[in-house]
Structure 1
Amino acid sequence: MKHASLKMLAGAAFALMLASTPALANDNSSSSDQQKAAPLYPNATRKEPKLDLTDKKEQQALNDGLTAAENNDKDKATQLLQPIATGSKSKYAQAMALQGLARVDATNNNLPAGIDKLKQALTNGVLPNDAYFQLKYELATFYLLNQQYQDAINEAEQWRSEGKKETPESYALEGEAYYHMKKYPESITAIQKAQSMAGDKADPRWNQLLMLDYSESGQTDKAAALAKQAVSTSPTDPTSFHNALSLYIQSKNYADALKLMEQTHIEGKIPFSENDYVTMAKLYMNDAQSDSNQDPSGDTTKAVQILQEGISKNVVKPSAENYMLIGDANMIGQNFNDAAAAYQKAAPSASDGEPAYKAGVAYVMANQYSEAKQELQQAISKGVKHKGKAYMALAQANIGLKNKAAAADAVMEAEKDPETAAQAKKWLKDANIGN
């Protein structure tokens, strides 16, 4: 059974993005006031240099520029920070301006330029430890977003080692980098470390990344267990619902997938999309065709009903594809007239004669041979994927109409198709027609 790939989980956007980096280091206080505040990196191995920013006017311009960058006012940030980055006598002011300009580069989707600016800011040697390590962590994030995954890991590990500081977010960053490098065991270890450190405050996106790690490393049972837990914890979250659904289907656990969809549909806490309605119908049809199902009509009726509900709500498009699906469900349930009616609704917007062909077959099964002949002739005229099968079905319709000559003509056409040649030859031989 086909379904959207588990890659839909990646739509949750695991990248930490700029929101997960520390805020830009606005310097709204004097250096003496800063020294009174508790340092963020009290055990850092790096010796903290003395600040060299003394110009009050420049300090205010720097603060205003960093605030503009934080607020995504790119023009104002660039106007205020660029002169400081290129012309200030203070290396500290230059470095902080470069950080603000790097943020502007990131919002302009120019991560390489932002990386260069952050590296330049870090090498000037005058940043206080709080600002220095903040920039190092931001550089690790930039590397991750720029798909420089090993660089991101190296920078994060150096940040922890030199700054003597550990955070759940830094391990989550490594976990994502390892995931993109397809190093799933390392990613799992890093994400689990982040979750254990964060406890109840763990970012839900980390759990989604862990699901991907388990799934893509063949541990779909663990991935499904995580997905089920996420659904129970957040029953109104569409992402958790779709994650669980995708994992159940990927692991061919169709019973639990259908149970989840039924429960979600009944509760009505998550609005169904067209894809949800179609997926639920296909799950019913899959269950109807399972070896253990002695009476498929119950499931196929549910499949039709769920699609019709979606159409009535203007969520499911009344397209040829969806009407074909309704027809297929009715065929499985042996509701041949309903199947033919659905296929006929699909025919006008279809690009070929497939709906008409299926309608013709449905009418043959319902012993309505005149309708079958009309549909099959229309299908052949419009073009079908299996022309020989269409002609064999047309022959059945003509037999039902007691028109043996027309049936023979149709079978001789089917004989020209390699797919049905042997079947057609046997029919003609048994009817004592031809050689």
Structure 2
Amino acid sequence: MKLTTMTKGLSRFVLRTSVALPLVLAPAVSVTVLEAVGVSAPFAQAEAQSNQETRKVAAMSESVFKKLGAVQEAADAENWNGALQALRDMEAGASKYNAYERAQMYFFYGFVYYSLERYKDAINAYKKVLAQGVENIPVGVELNTLKTIAQLYFVMEDWNLALNYLNQWFSRAESVSATDYAMRGQVYYQAGQLDKALTDINKAVSMYESEGKVPKENWYGLQRYFYFEKNDYKKVTNILEKLVKHYPKGEYYKQLSGMYGELKRDQDQLHMMEAAYVGGALQKEKELLNMAYLFMGNDMPYKGAKVIKKGLDEKKIERTSKNLETLAQAYQMAQELQKAIPALEGAAKLSDKGELYSRLASIYLDLDKNELSVTMGKRALDKGGLKRPDQLYIVLGMAYANQKEYNEALKQLKKALKDERSRKFAEQWIAYVEKEKQREEQLAK
């Protein structure tokens, strides 16, 4: 029999972070819809697989055995229509069969209908197996049939009926595995019974861990989801640490970094996000900028600048005025003014305001590049939109004074007098420039 898997996507949820970029994570549930155990095997084999006490049932006649053999032969060849016809021929004389023989026939009906993806018909057939009376079928077959019906209802997304039959199986089974608890936990989740779902998933995880085995990735994923819904970020963090250890993926590194941010574990947040970056998990612009902001916020601005520069070069970060300004800011914080200038000039060209040119004028003044300071200042005034034009007038006045262009310097400084915030400083510079102008004039005579 072929195994069929069915993937169910849980609702996506956002892991909030203490920085600009929310991280998104989405747990996926993958379950085996029908298990091979007891479904395609003859009843005798299913009984042998059970640890339950054996149940004495009626014998099968040779004629019924041969007819079922024909069904099995057609099924092995995946000739489902042939198998169905053989079963219908059998069913015509079903009144002559004992309960055990009829149960066998309906069992094969269920298997064939399942193989044809006629799930409702498969469920009805398996129910007829149970309807023959549990005293007339082996214990192992009864249990496997209950579980199969539950799984088929899961496929049909009838969660309540799936739980009904699954809980019957749980109440009768002598041995319940971690996988069984995980399966029921997933059904509880789909039925909206989250507390019961969490209990079962926790049971599955603890059973595996107590045996020294690594729980399945999707079990951890469900745990993580449930605890996040409960706002239990410490538990979420603990689970993500296990996921990073046993199933290292970039998404888990990012999510764990976000949880460290929630818990104010700033250094852990930085290190985990850096691990994601080094591993190539950060590819989107917001993720890369978020990495840069984390570096800048943790007194590592040059690393932040390198992240942005690489992102720009690889065209993963758009060359906008804002992004170039951030790059320049990172370089400035790292005392790398020569590298900051090209980035800031690029940002200024793309900006619709003169603010960045005003900053460039100030930087060039500090570097004693007075002509460039004046050039940038003029561009700033041409673009306009300045928050503090008075400060730019002072920068221009100082740059002109350094070039001994005293009249132009005084002209700019007097404009700064109009703003109360700069008046005192402007007056001091005006007094200085006037003295320098007089001194130069006297020397010229």
TM over 0.5, yes or no? yes
Q: Distance in 2 between matches of 1:46 and 1:408?
A: 107
- Structure 2: how far apart are the matches of 1:211 and 1:397? 54
Structure 2, gaps ≥5 residues long: 1-18, 92-104, 131-136, 366-372, 398-407, 427-445
Give deviations 1:31-73, integer Å, cap 9, x for gaps: 4xx51565444539999898867254432222333xxxxxxxx
1:86–1:94 CA contact under 8 A, matched in 2: no
Distance 1:330 1:179, change over 3 A: farther
Give the structure 1 partner of residue 10 of structure 2: none
Q: Which residue of 1 aligns with 2:170?
A: 160
Change (3 A) 1:278 1:197: same
1:322–1:399 CA distance, 2 compared to 1 (3 A): closer
**Cα-to-partner distance string for 1:184-233 (whole Å, 9 max, x where unaligned):** 54343222211222331521322232223223312212222332344345
2:127 corresponds to 1:123 = yes
**Any residues of structure 2 matched to 1:328-347 within 5 Å, and which?**
328-330=329-331, 338-339=339-340, 341-345=342-346
**2:301/2:330 contact within 8 Å kept:** yes
Is the 1:45–1:163 Cα contact (8 Å) retained in structure 2? no
* 1:22 Cα deviation from its structure 2 partner: 1.2
- Do the aligned partners of residues 429 and 231 (structure 1) sit closer, same or farther apart at CA in structure 2, a change above 3 Å counting? same
Instruction: Report the alpha carbon displacement of residue 171 of structure 1 after superposing the two structures with TM.
Output: 1.8
Task: Could you tell me which runs of 5 or more consecutive residues in structure 1 were left unpaired when the two chains were aligned.
Answer: 66-75, 103-112, 289-298, 381-389, 411-423
Task: Check conservation: 1:214, 1:223, Cα contact below 8 A.
Answer: yes
1:159 Cα shift?
Answer: 2.7
Confirm or deny that 1:139 pairs with 2:136.
no
Q: Pick closer, same or farther for the CA change 1:178–1:358 going to 2, 3 Å.
A: farther
Match of 1:8 among 25, 33, 38: 25
1:283 equivalent to 2:294? Answer yes
Distance 1:55 1:177, change over 3 A: closer
Q: Deviations over 1:374-402 (max 9, x none)?
A: 26755x6xxxxxxxxx3325564355335
Mapped to 1, the partners of 2:377 and 2:56 lie a distance apart of 88
8 Å Cα contact 1:40-1:130 kept in structure 2: no
Cα distance change of structure 1 residues 245 and 178 upon mapping to structure 2, 3 Å threshold: farther
Does the CA-based 8 Å contact 1:343-1:358 persist in structure 2? no
Measured in 1, the distance between the counterparts of 2:374 and 2:74 equals 86
**TM-score relative to the length of structure 2:** 0.62
Amino acid at match of 1:16: S
Aligned residues: 356
Confirm whether residue 301 of structure 1 aligns to residue 302 of structure 2: yes
Larger radius of gyration: 2
Query: Percent of counterpart pairs with the same letter?
Result: 17
TM-score (norm 1): 0.63
Match of 2:257 in 1: 245
SS at match of 1:246: helix
* Change in CA separation of 1:184 and 1:358 when aligned onto 2, cut-off 3 Å: farther
> In 2, Cα distance between the equivalents of 1:45 and 1:3?
61
Partner of 1:72: none
1:29-428 aligned at under 5 Å gives the runs: 31=42, 34-35=43-44, 38-43=47-52, 54-65=67-78, 89=91, 90-102=105-117, 114=119, 116-125=120-129, 128-129=141-142, 131-139=144-152, 141-142=154-155, 146=157, 149-178=159-188, 185-198=195-208, 199=211, 200-233=213-246, 236-262=248-274, 270-275=279-284, 277-288=288-299, 299-310=300-311, 314=314, 316-320=316-320, 322-330=323-331, 338-339=339-340, 341-345=342-346, 353=351, 359-360=356-357, 362-366=359-363, 367=365, 368=373, 370-371=375-376, 373-374=378-379, 377-378=382-383, 390-393=385-388, 396-398=391-393, 400-402=395-397
Deviations 1:216-274 (A, max 9, x none): 3122122223323443455x543542342232234342211112344566xx6x33432
Task: Give the direction of change, closer, same or farther, for the CA distance of 1:57–1:84 in structure 2 (3 Å limit).
Answer: closer
- RMSD over aligned Cα atoms: 4.7
Preserved contact between residue 85 and residue 94 of structure 1 (Cα < 8 Å): yes
